[in-house]
Structures are given as C-alpha cells and as structure tokens.
Amino acid sequence: NAGVTQTPKFQVLKTGQSMTLQCAQDMNHEYMSWYRQDPGMGLRLIHYSVGAGITDQGEVPNGYNVSRSTTEDFPLRLLSAAPSQTSVYFCASSYRDSNQPQHFGDGTRLSIL
Amino acid sequence: AQSVTQLDSQVPVFEEAPVELRCNYSSSVSVYLFWYVQYPNQGLQLLLKYLSGSTLVKGINGFEAEFNKSQTSFHLRKPSVHISDTAEYFCAVISYGGSQGNLIFGKGTKLSVKP
C-alpha cells in the first residue's frame, strides 16, 4: 500500500500563476481533506470531501478549489497564486467514522514569489 | 464546538529524561482524542488514540497518554526520550459521531531532545 501520495513535493510559482496539487489514496477511504501548515498556526483545514461528488469548505477555503470525481483522487487547485499561499500543504484521508484516524501524505512545499 | 490547547509550544529535554506534553480540550459532548507526531519534512503519523475504555492508552515508540475526563486533558508521556523523538507533536479531538471535517488540531508542541 502506498497510502496517501502527494505530488509534487516542492513547487515555486509566480504570483498570479495557477497550479494543481495532486493527492491520491489507495485505502478506499471515503473522507479526504486538504490542510495547510504555517509556523505557529498548526494545521488549518482548506477543503474536505466525504465521498465522490461531495466537497465542502473548511476554515480557510478562499483562493482554492477542489473536486472529487473518484474515491481515490482529491486535487487542490490554486486559481491565482498569491504570496499568502506560501505554505506546506498536506492531504489526508480516512474512513468516514469519527473514531478513525486520518492518514497524511508527506506534504507539498509551495513557495509563491 | 470543540477546541484544543497545547500548553507548551516548545519543550526542550535531555536524552533519557522523562517528558510530558500537555493537551487540554473543551467540548460539550463526548469526544475521541488523538496524538500525532510529525518528523522533520514529513507528514503526520498517528501516535495513539483514545476511543473508550481504559484511560491509559499506549502508543508507538514507547509513548502513552492518559485521558482525564474531569480535567478535560489528554497529556502525552514518555519515561525516557531518545534523540530520535525530536519532532512536533499534535493533539486532536473530534466529537462522537462527528464529521471528520470537524477534527480539531492543537497548534503543536515541538519536542527537542538534546544529547
């Protein structure tokens, strides 16, 4: 099992560019989510999905889009990158029940110049 | 709504010393509690979880945590730390039957183990 796979691991963008961060899981988890991690801020939820075709906003959704066309994949799109979006992004997945732990990818380190 | 407070942002400790990382939560309903560890340049990994039953929970790498309902705490302990335990530790809480989208993380405690 690969678990949760994120690509790319590193990316540098210019302000205004768009890009998609990829996330795939092979555990047949219903739930998938995206977090951003900034120093001293902990993890903040961007968007999440409880199943294919269903997405919802988290704490900090502005500037990001998601879609969930399959159980396995949950891409995160930056529409027009801004320096404030410089961060480390983590994808996580889990079974839907609240007693199940989330499984995390290794992160994408994104810098916006 | 739930919240989680990790009382120490940084904890320096010498190798082979005991350590306690503190976590307090607030909730009006019953909760599940988790501790995750994040090694440098990696994602979070589950260390241990409290779902029900015994209030003392054992996890990986010799860590354990004790759930105290009256004090709404879930402190993480290890009797003797190693250099390799240097990492950031996150406490998390979710209500019984709640959505995974409502999992709340604390802001993390950086454990630094010195030789």
Could you read off the pLDDT of A92-113 as tens digits, one per residue? 999 988 888 999 999 999 999 9
The whole-number average pLDDT for the span B68-92 is: 96
Nearest to A73 by CA among A52, A57, A54: A52
The whole-number average pLDDT for the span B72-92 is: 97
Q: Over the stretch A47-94, which tens digit does the pLDDT of each residue have?
A: 999 999 999 999 999 999 999 999 999 999 999 999 999 999 999 999
pLDDT above 90: residue A2: no
CB contact under 8 A, B100 and A100: yes
The DSSP line for B5-72 is EES-SEEEEETT--EEE-EEEE-SS-EEEEEEEE-TTS-EEEEEEE-SS-SEEE-GGG-EEEEETTTT
The whole-number average pLDDT for the span B61-77 is: 96
CA distance A61 to chain B (A): 13
Evaluated on CA atoms B65, B96, A41, A7, the torsion sign reads: positive
| Residue B99 pLDDT | 84
CB contact under 8 A, A94 and B100: yes
d(CA B51, CA B72): 14
The whole-number average pLDDT for the span B13-31 is: 95
Model confidence at B113, in pLDDT bands (50, 70, 90)? Answer: very high
CA distance B104 to chain A (A): 9
pLDDT above 90: residue B1: no
CB contact under 8 A, B32 and A58: no
Q: How many CB atoms lie within 10 A of CB B60?
A: 10
d(CA A66, CA A22): 10
Q: Over the stretch B90-107, which tens digit does the pLDDT of each residue have?
A: 999 998 888 888 899 999
CB contact under 8 A, B100 and A56: no
| Residue A9 pLDDT | 96
pLDDT above 80: residue B81: yes
Model confidence at A1, in pLDDT bands (50, 70, 90)? Answer: low
